[in-house]
A and B are shown apart, each in its own frame.
Chain A
Amino acid sequence: MTQSPTASIRPGRSARAGRLGATGLGFALPVSLFLLVAFDVPVLMMFGWALTSAKGMFAPFIEFFTRPVYLKVILNTLRIAAIATVACAVLGYVLAYWLRSLSGTARLVALTLVVLPFWVSILVRSYAWIVVLGNNGVVNRGLMDLGLASEPVAFLYNDLGVVIGTTNLLLPFLVLPLYAAMIRIDGRILQAAETLGASRWTIFRRVFFPLTVPALAAGMVLVFILTLGFYVTPAILGGGRVPMVANMLDMLINRLPRWELASAISIILLILTVLLHLLYVRLSRQAGN
């Protein structure tokens, strides 16, 4: 930004600088511009492929809706995402609740253990599951040595494998905000309920749980959105048997290469994600209040 030398003596300057700082707009400008040029413009150009297809303006969209295979893959992706979300919610809620009950060092250690997997690459973690859950893996050998299974249990290379891998990766995204919401709950509200004669179960059901629902729902939407775009986990733990949309896009982009169709599918996926994101924003606002 260029400014005339006289600008420094104009009285309005400091006020303006103050306003910039207050709204944060001035600070956000460089990164916004960068995102606009390096991310938004390429995304829009990518949309252009679908709309300027040689076969006609909406040809890739028509192909998407008339050939059932693409829709089926998206539905399958939604199904896997829903299962993974529920798994995350159940496990995550119990974990966050337990974290809340800890104090001091124990809480710090437990929280660190929750965050720790973030520091390990997705690829490494996905392969680690092969070592743990494979036919010849630790769990299956244990089960067979104990006589609990006569032949290896198929944990991997199916829906279950993908759900296990996905849940493991995304659990922190749900646990951390949920835990934050749980410790914000005023202990006196719970005590008040207790003085009024409510049982522990009633307190949980009618006071504690409703207060955590917005954070839980926001976390679930977040996990759902993230699962929609998962690529590495289905590729490794799905054994090529669990078709998901990111893997289908990879094929359309890199192998065929049918960019027009890939672009149309991406647009549809993006619209879906934006809608879910709006839901997330609404829910997390509620959680914040």
Chain B
Amino acid sequence: MIFTKRQLLKNSAGLVALSALGLRAGPSRAAAGEFRMIEAGGTSGESIEKGYIVPFTEQTGTRVLRESPSGLGKLRALVESGDSSVPLLEVSSPELYQAVALDLVEPIDWDVVNPDPMFDEAKHEYGFGYQYYSTVMAWGEGERAPKDWAEFFDPEALSGKRTLPDYAAYILPMAALAAGSSIENIYPIDLDKAFESLERIKDSVSVWWQAGAQPPQLLKDKEVQYAAGWSGRVAGAPGMEFTYQQGLLDLAYFVVPKGVDPELKKAAMGLLHEMSVAKNQAVAAEVVSYTGPSPDLEKLLPQDRIGEFPTTTANKNVQMFNDGQWWFENADEVEQRWQEFKLTL
């Protein structure tokens, strides 16, 4: 009874007011019996459940309550309201740098995590890179495949409606590429060039999507013929085709909100360890074709669907890697120009 009340309070904005009035709930007494995590939701959340939480709970008896979606706003709300009950929260790579700059996160306790071998970029002082995903071009079955982003962004070369992400960081690199930047020297991004590409294509863009489920649905409904969408949503989906060629590879991280209960943090490090185990990553990749950070994962993946995964050697080599640091450093200018561009639609 008391527990549900607390849960309710923590989920409501009212807690901000209550904590200011000195009515803050005491430190968690649930200890390591269970903890909450905030993740991106959707099939990605299901893959966390099946791949990592199930083996973790079997070994430790600790239950994990998933909540979604995540975001910097939630992180800031947790930290500023003094909520210490969420030891893990998912962020994108630009968000990781911003969270560090805003002093909202604690270092990962890598000694306690004691991870299996991981790719270097996934072992950040403040973030555990747990899931690779790509933003790729996809098209409806029967449509002509775009050669590259240059053609994708050219409405005359390739007619048909498009859907593009309503997130600057997931489309500006491709737009710059389309305007003549090279994949090796994509950073720093030439914003003038990138926005030129967007200007050229904007009349052919039906929908600027915010939810990853939108691009495959719009392709299926024939609302659009071409999409820039997240790989796990379009790879292997019926009625559409895709390519990793010139895709934008990125890494999602788990961070530890500042001021979290140390007991819960310790327990959460155990869950992170499970996320470093190649065998578990293979189970998660079965649910949604995003991949974990283990270099040994490739041979455990289903070989008949090997083309669907973003980090196989063949796929990783044809993509560019997103640079969260650059996005963080240029966030203000990018966001400003992005909003101004959106107003001209």
Tell me whether A259 is interfacial, beta carbon within 8 Å.
yes
- CA–CA, A193 to B342, complex, Å? 55
- CA–CA, A255 to B166, complex, Å? 12
Residue pair A69, B340 in contact (C-beta under 8 Å): yes
A-contact 0/1 string along B68-100, CB 8 Å cutoff? 000111111000000000000000000000000
Residue pair B72, A254 in contact (C-beta under 8 Å): yes
Residue pair A255, B223 in contact (C-beta under 8 Å): no
| Nearest CB of A to B208, in Å | 3
Chain B CB within 10 Å — which of A76, A135, A248 has the most?
A: A135
- Give the A interface residue count (CB, 8 A): 29
Residue pair A255, B343 in contact (C-beta under 8 Å): no
Q: Pick from B14-22, B28-36, B116-124, B317-325 the stretch touching chain A.
A: B14-22
Chain B residue with the shortest CB-CB distance to A259:
B76
- CA–CA, A37 to B18, complex, Å? 9
B73 touches which one: A69, A154, A254 (CB < 8 A)?
A: A254
Q: Pick from A92-100, A213-221, A238-246 the stretch touching chain B.
A: A238-246
Tell me whether A172 is interfacial, beta carbon within 8 Å.
no
Residue pair B17, A255 in contact (C-beta under 8 Å): no
- Give the B interface residue count (CB, 8 A): 29
Chain B residue with the shortest CB-CB distance to A75:
B343
Which chain B residues lie closer than 8 Å to A254 at the CB level? 71-74
Tell me whether A257 is interfacial, beta carbon within 8 Å.
yes
Q: For chain A residues 243-263, which have a beta carbon within 8 Å of chain B?
A: 243, 248, 253-257, 259
| Nearest CB of A to B230, in Å | 16
A76 touches which one: B71, B72, B75, B343 (CB < 8 A)?
A: B343
Which chain B residues lie closer than 8 Å to A136 at the CB level? 221-223
B-contact 0/1 string along A44-79, CB 8 Å cutoff? 010000000000000000000001110011001000
Residue pair A255, B73 in contact (C-beta under 8 Å): yes
A135 touching B17 in the complex, CB below 8 Å, given contacts A157-B206, A243-B343, A257-B73 = no
B209 touches which one: A45, A240, A243, A253 (CB < 8 A)?
A: A240
Residue pair B343, A73 in contact (C-beta under 8 Å): yes
Residue pair A42, B14 in contact (C-beta under 8 Å): yes
Which chain B residues lie closer than 8 Å to A253 at the CB level? 73
Tell me whether A165 is interfacial, beta carbon within 8 Å.
no
B72 touches which one: A42, A243, A257 (CB < 8 A)?
A: A257
- CA–CA, A110 to B345, complex, Å? 40
Tell me whether B335 is interfacial, beta carbon within 8 Å.
yes
A-contact 0/1 string along B55-77, CB 8 Å cutoff? 00000000000000001111110
Tell me whether B210 is interfacial, beta carbon within 8 Å.
yes
In the complex, 29 of the A-B residue pairs with CB atoms within 8 angstroms, ordered by the A residue number, are A42-B13, A42-B16, A45-B20, A67-B336, A69-B336, A69-B339, A69-B340, A69-B343, A72-B343, A73-B343, A76-B343, A130-B221, A135-B222, A135-B223, A136-B221, A136-B222, A239-B208, A240-B209, A240-B342, A243-B342, A248-B339, A253-B73, A254-B72, A254-B74, A255-B73, A256-B335, A257-B71, A257-B73, A257-B75
Enumerate chain A interface residues (CB-CB to B < 8 A).
37-38, 41-42, 45, 67-69, 72-73, 76, 130, 134-136, 154, 157, 235, 239-241, 243, 248, 253-257, 259
